Homo-oligomer: A and B are copies of this chain.
Amino acid sequence: MSDNKNKRTPISELGEFGLIDRITGNFSTKNNETILGVGDDAAIIGSDSKMVVTTDILTEGIHFDLVYTPLKHLGYKSVIVNLSDVYAMNATPKQITVSIAISSRFAIEDVEELYSGIKMACDLYNVDLIGGDTTSSLTGLTISVTAIGTANEDKIVKRSGAQKNNLICVTGDLGGAYMGLQLLEREKSLHDQQYNQQPELEGYEYILERQLKPEARKDIIEELAKAEITPTSMIDISDGLSSELMHICKNSGTGCHIYMEKIPVNDQTSDMAKEFNIDPTVAALNGGEDYELLFTVDIKDYDKVVNIPGVTVIGHVCENKDEKVLVTPDDTTIELKAQGWNHGN
């Protein structure tokens, strides 16, 4: 694509069907469950297992800012956020559909960049693009993705299965995507004020990648299967740890105790949080878009779960559903609130 960076061809030159041919032509299907992909009124799929279905819609100016979001990254991320929901059911994603609405300020090359990111995610996560819709909008870009996955029915994990004394586990580290966003927003506003100001992003590559190019925890789902652990409940962390814990507790009819010093936070996240005078724990609790997994397991699985790289036990489920608390190092308890993240999903 880099040769074409400066070439801008109006979409009207190809028309809707020409554009669809152009962007979907280099996708090939990889899964037996995909019988017919793009090109008819509907795709055809099939599986002996149960299927899970999830969908997300991302709008320009609300979920992403094209000033600092490369279109390829955006395409990649728009797939990842849906795959993350499939993994959160303990299922394996197999197919996606992608619909976009674009205003006339976008050229064919822009759409190709977007789809190169979509293709990269499809290749890395072994998912087939089976359909979609490409249309105009009066302003801006909207992307709607639906993901379909398969799972054995007895392995599907909902939000509602947490039980008293279950261990609460999270993957990776939290708050990074949020602090990456704060950094990007700061540099954008400095750049707006002073045109020649170069953004100072060095040393913060990790949190920038957390924001701009997140991954879904395919690896964890595979490790859990290998360790023969079926979580009792699971959710992906798109709106912040606190909000997701609330969902699990509400759906399971339980409370929870989590321990502040156990919450995994990366050093870059802490450093950036301090620069912004934000408590790193607050970033982890309320910052969104980490796409890590939050799950509960039976206490008998303790030894197995702590041996999975990237999993941290942060607390336990309790019976009293009015007791959803964060325990600080000095043993103070703070009630958790679903502050969440106001960016859609």
Contacts and interface: CB of A to CB of B under 8 A. Distances in A.
Contacts of A46: 49-51, 153
Interface in A218-255: 234-236, 251
Nearest to A246: B17
A49 B51 CA distance: 12
B345 A135 contact: yes
Contacts of A101: 57, 59, 62, 142
Interface in A74-90: 85-86, 88-89
Interface string A48-61: 01111111111111
A53 B131 contact: yes
Nearest to A57: B99
Interface in A160-204: 160
A93 B263 CA distance: 45
Contacts of A140: 137-139
Contacts of A53: 42-45, 95, 97, 130-131, 146, 148
A91 interface: yes
Contacts of A63: 135
A320 interface: no
Contact of A146 (B40, B134, B146, B156): B146
Contacts of A146: 53, 55, 97, 146
B42 A144 contact: no
A54 B137 contact: no
Interface of A: 16, 35-36, 39-46, 49-63, 85-86, 88-89, 91, 95, 97, 99-101, 130-140, 142, 144, 146-149, 153, 156, 158-160, 234-236, 251, 342-345
11 contacts: A41-B85, A41-B159, A41-B236, A42-B52, A43-B52, A53-B97, A54-B97, A55-B131, A57-B100, A136-B342, A136-B344
Q: Across the A-B interface, give the 8 residue pairs with the lowest CB-CB distance, nearest first.
A: A135-B344, A144-B144, A42-B54, A42-B52, A41-B88, A57-B99, A61-B138, A41-B85
